[in-house]
Structure 1
Amino acid sequence: MQAPLKPAMAPLVWQVGALCRAIAGALEQKFNPVAVRGEISGFSRASSGHCYFQIKDGQGQIRCAMFRRAAALVDFSPRDGDLVELRGRLSVYEARGDLQLVVESLQRAGAGALMEQFLRLKARLEAEGLFDAARKRPLPALPRGIGLVTSPGAAALHDVVTALRRRLPHVPVLLAPASVQGAEAPADLVRALQRLYAHARDGADQPIDLILLVRGGGSVEDLWAFNDEALARCIVQSPVPLVSGVGHETDFSIADFVADLRAPTPTAAAELAAQPREVWLALLDGMANRLHDAAMRNLDQLAQRLDQTAARLGRPSQGAGRQRLHLAQLEQRLQHGLATQLAQRRHRLDVQQPRLRAAVQGRAQQARQALAHAARGLELLDPRVVLQRGYTWLTDASGSTVTSVAQLTEGAAVRATLADGEADLQVTKTGRV
């Protein structure tokens, strides 16, 4: 008998917006950035400054949107029929489900050879795995030193140094100057990076944990040095994480793809290299609060143990009282010490931050040792310790402690408590010493 056919699996049911976003994500991952050559059709400029048109040739057309910021950088007035080369990112306009190209730069046709060269090199290096996310390294949270490659006369140098002084004023910055434009720039950039690489490997006195490769904005030709293959392969060889901050946010170079991290601008590269000082201060406050809470919990536990021990001691309550007072003093000293340490270390954070945690932990360890010593002293007051030296504790029939012969009469029953047990006795004779 033939087995019944299994029903086909039902397809995944998408929300429309979610499907649009998924398609957009797939497009962006596979194609972007893209460069297109074609003819402008249906060009219009809205009152907002945004521009909308189609780019077409004999085989097809694509809707385009060029927002005001990118439109302001165009150095001519686009018209229908103009043959242009544009650069941008494919996306899906979710409101209509339309494929559109968000234009980031637009120029008259003629610079297409450079873009074709860029795309061929990009595809070849990507195929070799030089863009793989697996080889990208995370940036150090608090670098000991930063290497910087840029032109000494560029505005990018001022922007980066200003940002680093604001965020990490105590971290040294080692500049390796290089030209960033022109035919000699790629080889000059490679030499500058290699100098920093050698220092990163051997510079024990002034270590480098991060390198910034930066240049300000410019035309495609101005930024072309950062699309050099030799420079790309040199970047891959960096012994420490390297951040590329070349041009403006809409500019992409081969250096951006091979670097460990791409920053949209030189200033952004400096900001990525260093967390703001306020972040570290907040982290330090959080650590101090956790340390204080832990110390207080420990003190509460020790105080509870002290109360329990004192309750078992009976008459030696005065000793327990002194120990409680000493414990309270220790607690006050610890609280005051923690507050003082925190204020001093916060003031000296820029130069002594690594020692703060060890100092606070040492202070807490001293307090714990003092408490342990006090607990041991308290335990010495336990009557059982005295009994172990050969003494005996006498109580009468009512359980009251016998401390004088005046409390005894001949024939009275008493109980003797020794270190290892008890014995019932009868008084046969009394007398004073």
Structure 2
Amino acid sequence: MNFPDEAPASSGFPADEPVLSVAQLNRQVARLLEAGIPRLWVAGEISNFTRAASGHWYFSIKDESAAVRAVMFRGRAQAVGFVPEVGGRYEFRVQVSLYEPRGDYQVQVESLRRAGRGDLHEAFLRLKDQLSREGLIDAGRRRAIPTMPRTVGVVTSLAAAALRDVLSVMARRAPHVRVILYPAPVQGREAAAQLCQALDQAAARNEIDVLLLVRGGGSLEDLWSFNDEALARRIAASPVPVVSGVGHETDFTIADFVADLRAPTPTAAAELCCLSRDQLLGQVRAAADDLARAQRRRLEYAGMRVDRAAAQLVSPAQRLHLHRQRLETAMQRLTLPLPGRMRQQAQDARRAGERLHACMDRLLQRGGHRLAVAESALQALDPRAVLTRGYAIVRGPAGSVVKNALDLKIDARLDIEFAQGRAQATVTRTDTLL
């Protein structure tokens, strides 16, 4: 069977029709989806929720008869203020798109809110954005929590389980720290105002080193007092650092964003507000060990210095003995008769002269020997000494010494120097030595 190289012209397909790659096709489809479908709100239930290490959220939005894959990138997810629960119903602000590498249709979630609570969530986001623009949420504004406070204040309800948790943790971990309660309701219409009064009272009394603002978990409505603007501004203006421990780990309130430290639970707030007694005792023991080691080193060095100083000391008795010996020697010299002293000095001078002459003779002998050795070496290196054994020095027309016969030209004039006299010669032939 024969196959033609090209399709026949009557195949019916335009010859100049472009051929797309799969990536180009998916890119065009993604553009059509993004341009053709505007951003919109979608209601549904979350399933297959994954919180990636990058901070992105991957999940599905479903209802009774359909599902769609969704992604919420890290920057958008951080602005939500809470972590959604699998099975919970939410409303999602989405942009329809296509995941080009696989060709999967999906939605990119820009924001979300609990279903039926859109107004509260919108109010939460508006206040959060406003406080952020004012700099009250900036991380650089937050103060460090003291590690060794003497007194800790707690703002919460007298009937709250969070108070029992905080007191239990403080009694177990830090019984040395004094705890002062500033009671206020943590739920209801008047709760926000009374929480503000409790913070004002703590600031006015000026008796604590750090303040805990805590309550247990609950619904969005239950925690709404901690989303109050006036309370947020009281927290930001507090003269002492504030630790917020409101709700469970997945709950976020405005109080969490403006506090100096957010704890995931009231129990965690009590654990984060100070070091435990065991930690402090460990630090004290470590410091005592370091101090003892330093003291031992100082004593050892001081002992070494004393030993060195003692080795250099001379007792007064030894000093007197040395001075006495010197004095006796001087007295003996002074008691010698004058002629005897002169004879002694003459003998000393004569012996010194003899030693000087002997030294000069030895130096002259050594110098003469070195001179003879150097003269012998120079004679051995004299090129003319070789001529006495029948050799000659041949110089070319330019006066340079000839080392290779092949460097000479025929009829070149040569100057030959012998041990006795010179001679002139002409080159008639050159050969090499094999």
Aligned match for 1:393, one of 302, 315, 320:
320
2:224 is aligned with 1:224: yes
| Displacement after TM superposition at 1:153 (Å) | 0.3
Provide the C-alpha distance between the structure 2 equivalents of 1:45 and 1:257, rounded to a whole number of angstroms: 25
2:426 is aligned with 1:426: no
| Displacement after TM superposition at 1:110 (Å) | 1.0
Q: Which residue does the alignment assign to 1:62?
A: 70
Deviations 1:276-313 (A, max 9, x none): 22221221122112211211111111111111122223
Q: Which residue does the alignment assign to 2:303?
A: 303
Is the partner of 1:302 in helix, strand or coil? helix
Gaps of 5+ in 2: 1-39, 51-57, 74-82, 94-101, 336-434
For residues 178 and 427 of structure 1, do their structure 2 counterparts lie closer, same or farther at Cα, with a shift above 3 Å needed? same
Deviations 1:133-165 (A, max 9, x none): 222110112111111100000100000111111
For residues 42 and 210 of structure 1, do their structure 2 counterparts lie closer, same or farther at Cα, with a shift above 3 Å needed? closer
2:60 is aligned with 1:53: yes
2:158 is aligned with 1:152: yes
Q: Which residue does the alignment assign to 2:79?
A: none
Provide the C-alpha distance between the structure 1 equivalents of 2:150 and 2:124, rounded to a whole number of angstroms: 36
Q: Which residue does the alignment assign to 2:249?
A: 249
The number of residue pairs the alignment matches comes to 271
2:46 is aligned with 1:39: no
Q: Are the counterparts in 2 of residues 40 and 53 from structure 1 also a CA contact under 8 Å?
A: no
Deviations 1:97-144 (A, max 9, x none): x99999xx985x211110001000110111011111222110112111
Q: Are the counterparts in 2 of residues 227 and 254 from structure 1 also a CA contact under 8 Å?
A: yes
Provide the C-alpha distance between the structure 2 equivalents of 1:100 and 1:303, rounded to a whole number of angstroms: 79
Deviations 1:351-402 (A, max 9, x none): xxxxxxxxxxxxxxxxxxxxxxxxxxxxxxx53xx89xxxx7134xxxxx97
Is the partner of 1:394 in helix, strand or coil? helix
2:215 is aligned with 1:215: yes
Where do 1:366-405 residues align within 5 Å?
383=316, 393-395=320-322
User: Residue type of the partner of 1:134?
Assistant: G
Q: Are the counterparts in 2 of residues 243 and 260 from structure 1 also a CA contact under 8 Å?
A: yes
Is the partner of 1:126 in helix, strand or coil? helix
Where do 1:178-217 residues align within 5 Å?
178-200=184-206, 207-217=207-217
Is the partner of 2:182 in helix, strand or coil? strand
Q: Which residue does the alignment assign to 2:326?
A: 415
Q: Which residue does the alignment assign to 2:174?
A: 168
Q: Which residue does the alignment assign to 1:317?
A: none
User: Residue type of the partner of 1:136?
Assistant: R
Provide the C-alpha distance between the structure 1 equivalents of 2:280 and 2:238, rounded to a whole number of angstroms: 28
Q: Which residue does the alignment assign to 1:237?
A: 237
User: Residue type of the partner of 1:426?
Assistant: Q
Provide the C-alpha distance between the structure 2 equivalents of 1:165 and 1:101, rounded to a whole number of angstroms: 48
Where do 1:304-319 residues align within 5 Å?
304-314=304-314
Q: Are the counterparts in 1 of residues 212 and 245 from structure 2 also a CA contact under 8 Å?
A: yes
Provide the C-alpha distance between the structure 2 equivalents of 1:251 and 1:266, rounded to a whole number of angstroms: 12
For residues 428 and 84 of structure 1, do their structure 2 counterparts lie closer, same or farther at Cα, with a shift above 3 Å needed? closer
For residues 300 and 257 of structure 1, do their structure 2 counterparts lie closer, same or farther at Cα, with a shift above 3 Å needed? same
Provide the C-alpha distance between the structure 2 equivalents of 1:303 and 1:117, rounded to a whole number of angstroms: 75
TM-score by length of 1: 0.54
Provide the C-alpha distance between the structure 1 equivalents of 2:150 and 2:210, rounded to a whole number of angstroms: 9
- CA RMSD across the alignment: 4.1
User: Residue type of the partner of 2:201?
Assistant: R
Provide the C-alpha distance between the structure 1 equivalents of 2:139 and 2:45, rounded to a whole number of angstroms: 39
Gaps of 5+ in 1: 1-35, 88-95, 201-206, 315-381, 396-400, 403-413, 418-422
Provide the C-alpha distance between the structure 2 equivalents of 1:311 and 1:106, rounded to a whole number of angstroms: 86
Provide the C-alpha distance between the structure 2 equivalents of 1:426 and 1:53, rounded to a whole number of angstroms: 119
TM-score by length of 2: 0.54
User: Residue type of the partner of 1:258?
Assistant: V
Deviations 1:146-200 (A, max 9, x none): 1110000010000011111122101111101000001100001001111111111
Provide the C-alpha distance between the structure 1 equivalents of 2:191 and 2:121, rounded to a whole number of angstroms: 19
Q: Which residue does the alignment assign to 1:120?
A: 126
| Displacement after TM superposition at 1:63 (Å) | 3.6
Q: Are the counterparts in 2 of residues 197 and 239 from structure 1 also a CA contact under 8 Å?
A: yes
For residues 302 and 253 of structure 1, do their structure 2 counterparts lie closer, same or farther at Cα, with a shift above 3 Å needed? same
User: Residue type of the partner of 2:255?
Assistant: A
User: Residue type of the partner of 1:39?
Assistant: A
Q: Which residue does the alignment assign to 2:91?
A: 85
Q: Which residue does the alignment assign to 2:427?
A: none
Provide the C-alpha distance between the structure 1 equivalents of 2:41 and 2:276, rounded to a whole number of angstroms: 43
Q: Percent identity?
A: 48
| Displacement after TM superposition at 1:246 (Å) | 0.4
For residues 192 and 43 of structure 1, do their structure 2 counterparts lie closer, same or farther at Cα, with a shift above 3 Å needed? closer
User: Residue type of the partner of 1:303?
Assistant: G
Provide the C-alpha distance between the structure 2 equivalents of 1:86 and 1:163, rounded to a whole number of angstroms: 40
Provide the C-alpha distance between the structure 2 equivalents of 1:100 and 1:163, rounded to a whole number of angstroms: 45
User: Residue type of the partner of 2:42?
Assistant: G
Is the partner of 2:213 in helix, strand or coil? strand
| Displacement after TM superposition at 1:220 (Å) | 0.2
Provide the C-alpha distance between the structure 2 equivalents of 1:100 and 1:248, rounded to a whole number of angstroms: 29
